[in-house]
Structure 1
Amino acid sequence: MFEEIKNASTRIGKYIKHIPLYYSNRISELYEGDIFLKLENLQKTGSFKIRGALNSILKNKDKCSSGVIAASAGNHAQGVAYGAQLLDISAKIVMPVDTPLVKIKSTEFYGAEVILYGENYDEAYKKASEIAEDEKLFFIHPFDNNDVICGQGTIGEEIFSENKKIDQIIVPVGGGGLIAGIGSFVKEISPSTKIIGVQADNVCGMTRFLQGRSFSDNMAAPTLAEGIAVKKPGKRTSEICENVVDEMVTVSENDIARAVLDFIELSKLVVEGAGAVPLAAVYASLADVKNLRTVLVISGGNIDVNLITRIINKGLISTGRFVELTISLRDRPGALAGITGVIAETGANILNIEHFRFDNTLPVGFTRVTFSLETKGLEHIRNVVEILRQHGYDVNVNSQIF
């Protein structure tokens, strides 16, 4: 597969962006290691997926003459659509119904017909397979295909062509095409380089497979990293990963949200949830980077604006910079002024106040008040709650932050 990856690099080279490794001073200083970012969120179509899709189309031009079809949560879709547009052939993409609007519109921008079907990738895949057979279209699998895997593996070649002294590479994992390709190339030229895969806690089929645990096709829950929300890893990718992946870890939704927020705030980068999981793994101390040269593969940046808002809010909550407190107050003049004065003394900033007077669970003469506060961290929230309780207020924290 090593030579096939090199051939893929030559084949797709003139169509893709070659983005140098970005050294992150901030993350490197925080975790006492040399942290490089492979910024595939800045790649054409906003994701690494263009590599595998293009390699498959360019290598199989004759088979694509009647058109191509794919199933995708979004990024593979855009890669296939872009490749089809280059060769002036038709493309159909089957996407789950909850695919972010930005990915649907971007796919249509490249001229593909989008078909929304199913609640997840697996259902969309089944539908796409049926259409491919009925209409004799060339099916381009998003991960479980050698040509696609080799296209994704060109990332590994680019990393080592620039810096051969890399101790470890941390890679997002869904179906496994990206990590299988990178690992296949890297292990051939640098066996000591550690390959670490990251998945969301809520959807971690490859992790369970490599750990020797059985998993159900129904084992999935909503995740901010919808781009890697593949319940069942590929057969081919699983075989490769058994040989080239050193470790798999999973990260929480809070850690993913924090990573997306920090990319925006600290690195000025827009990164989707799937692309942020390598940084989330570092945050959660699941990957040791101290005194090591580490590459984080930032796989994509196609994120819906509405989702960004929700992720930012979740990130603010998980880092203790926003909190909602609910307090029962006597419904009398001066009660609200009294508690707002106490909150002001703690240094918290009141963003919003909501009254709930008509609640049959409240004692007569009481009102329930919810305060939305801007705070300075988890310890600050603890101090705010403690001070309010010292003043006799019954405080409930409306989130599971501590």
Structure 2
Amino acid sequence: MDIRGYFTSLDISWTNAAFAIGAAVLSFFLIHGAVVLFRRRLNQLDGETAQRPIVDVLRHTLARTSNLAILATSLLIGVSVLDLPPPWNVRVGHLWFLTLGAQLALWLHRAIAVTAHRYFRIHGKNKENEQVTVAHTLMIWALQWSVWTVFLLAMLANLGINVTTFVASLGIGGVAVALAVQNILGDLFASLSIAVDKPFEVGDYVSVPEFSGTVEHVGLKTTRIRALSGEQIVIANAELLRKTVHNFKRMTTRRVQFALRINPATPPELAAKLPPRLSAIIETKDKVKLDHVNLTVLDQNFIEYDIVYNLSDADFSLYLKTQQQVLLEAMQLFRELGVSTAPRAQQLILNEGGGAEQAANDAVEVKRPDGRGKPQARPMP
């Protein structure tokens, strides 16, 4: 059958064909005009409204509207008004699913990229580094491939192809691959978790139970930390996240607690003068808020004062400088008041000759009442 005879068998009148062509042309201009108008309205928004997430995502997503998809949709609208024999209405239904599904997949493809980029830009404090770039790329790649995989499987199922066995095979294969590379995948997802949640960043000083240092690099599998002693520590991302990490760079305040001990022979009236005098010393320091100075321990060997203050700046150099000034002025105060920080004097009593007498007694064999000699130690089992 030639092409003319093929279309003649469809039994389409010229009036019906003209109406279908007109519907297709009108649909194209209406759909295209609506998309252009909607995009123009979104671009005209300004201020806080333009910065809303939904507006930003819609603006960039609609920019990926395919003119080919609009043309195909318009032609399908025109074909839908034709009186087609039974085999053709099923085929048109498949074409509808393919056209609309492809356009929806394109929109989701773009929306994922825009949303992920916006998330990393906001939560990354507008800083782009290697870690953020890698995590951003991997996340977008995984989500976009998931969208197109679902679309492909849905299209095959719509065409009447049984994809159940194929999906089951993919599941079994995925489980096998995951078991084979579970350690690598664990470190990979840990890297994504570090990039998204940001418990620490490059340049932060962190401490874990085994070591401490400055974070130099966060890769896909390992994190590199430069220790204070100079060596570089390389640790797997998953293992690092299982530990308790102390991030000192994010400290906003610093709590300082220490103790001062004086001689227990200090008179009570003199010991009572120390808390207010020490408080006055601490309160004069810059960026310091005193918590308390109290006598907490009275022992036969010493009297102890517990001292706590807070620094509004967590800088370590400021802490060292402030603590040094407090201790030096406390030493000067002790000297002025005549307070001794020496512990209680210990007395050592020596018994001369006791050792020789004991040795002589040990040399004499002691008789038991029953006539036996000195009992011998029983050997241990």
Establish whether TM, by shorter chain, passes 0.5: no
Q: Which has the higher contact order (CA 8 A, sep 6+)?
A: 1
The normalised TM-score by structure 1 is 0.29
Considering fraction of residues, name the structure with more strand.
Answer: 1
**Greater CA radius of gyration, 1 or 2?**
2
The normalised TM-score by structure 2 is 0.30
Considering fraction of residues, name the structure with more helix.
Answer: 2
